[in-house]
Amino acid sequence: MGPERDGSDFTRRKFTIPRRLDEELVRVAEDHYQGNVSLCIRAAFEDHKQTLNGEGEIAFGRLLSHVDEMATRQSEILNRIESLEDDAGAQGAPSPSSSPLGRRVEQVYRELEQSDGGLRIDDLRERLDLSLPAIQSALGKLVDHGLSTDRGTDSERFWAVGVNELSRGDFDE
C-alpha cells in the first residue's frame, strides 16, 4: 500500500493492455490530465461506475428534459413570430396577390390545391421548407375557415376544399 492521500489508501496494480490502447491512454492523459496516466484511469473508472449505477442516465435524462423544454420554447416563439407577421400583413395595405389569411397560409393552401391525394404535414414541410409550427398554424387556419380538411386517418392527410376561395377576401384574421 502507498501513502495515504485525501483520506484514500492507494494500491498498486499490475495489468497489461494493448499498445494501441496504451498510446491512446497516454494521449488522453496528456490532453486532459497533465500527463498523469494514473489520474486519467481513475477518472475513467469513476465515470464508468456512475454510468453503471445509473447516475449517468439521470444526468442524461435531465439534459434531455432541458432540450425538450428548449424545443417547446422555440416552437412557442416561432408561433408568436408567425402571428406577428400575419398581424403585420393584415394591418398593411394588402397587395393584389396576397391572401387575407397570410402568405404562409396561402403557400400551404396552394400546395394542397395542387395535390390529388392530399398531403401529410411532413410532405408540406419538405415541399415548402417551413417549420412544423408554421405548417400546423397554417393548416389550423385553413381548417377553421373550411378551406382544408383531414380525413382523420392514421396518416393525417390534408386536402384543399373551396377551390379559389382564398381570393375572395372575406375572412377575418
Spatial neighbors of 101 by CB under 8 A, at least 6 apart, are 86, 109, 141, 142, 145, 166, 171, 173
What CA dihedral angle connects 49, 51, 54 and 58, to 10 degrees?
130
DSSP string, 79-95: HHHHHHHHHHHHHSPPP
Helix, strand, coil percentages, rounded to 5, for the chain: 60, 5, 35
Q: How confident is the model at residue 154 (pLDDT cuts 50, 70, 90)?
A: low
Amino acid at 23: E
Put simply, whether the predicted model's pTM sits higher than 0.85 gets the answer no
Q: How confident is the model at residue 171 (pLDDT cuts 50, 70, 90)?
A: very low
Q: Is 126 helix (H, G, I), strand (E, B) or coil?
A: helix
pLDDT digits (tens, 9 = 90+) for 22-53: 999 999 999 999 999 999 998 888 888 877 77
Instruction: Name beta bridge partners: 8.
Output: 5
Q: How far apart are CA 39 and CA 103, in angstroms?
A: 60
Q: What is the pLDDT of residue 2?
A: 47
Dihedral sign from CA coordinates of 10, 11, 14, 17: negative
Average pLDDT over residues 1-12: 63
Q: What is the mean pLDDT of the chain?
A: 77
Whether 90 has a pLDDT exceeding 90, the answer reads no
Whether 92 has a pLDDT exceeding 70, the answer reads no
Whether 168 has a pLDDT exceeding 50, the answer reads no
What CA dihedral angle connects 165, 166, 170 and 173, to 10 degrees?
140
DSSP string, 99-118: -TT-HHHHHHHHHHHT-SS-
Q: How confident is the model at residue 77 (pLDDT cuts 50, 70, 90)?
A: confident
Q: How confident is the model at residue 62 (pLDDT cuts 50, 70, 90)?
A: confident
Q: How far apart are CA 130 and CA 126, in angstroms?
A: 8
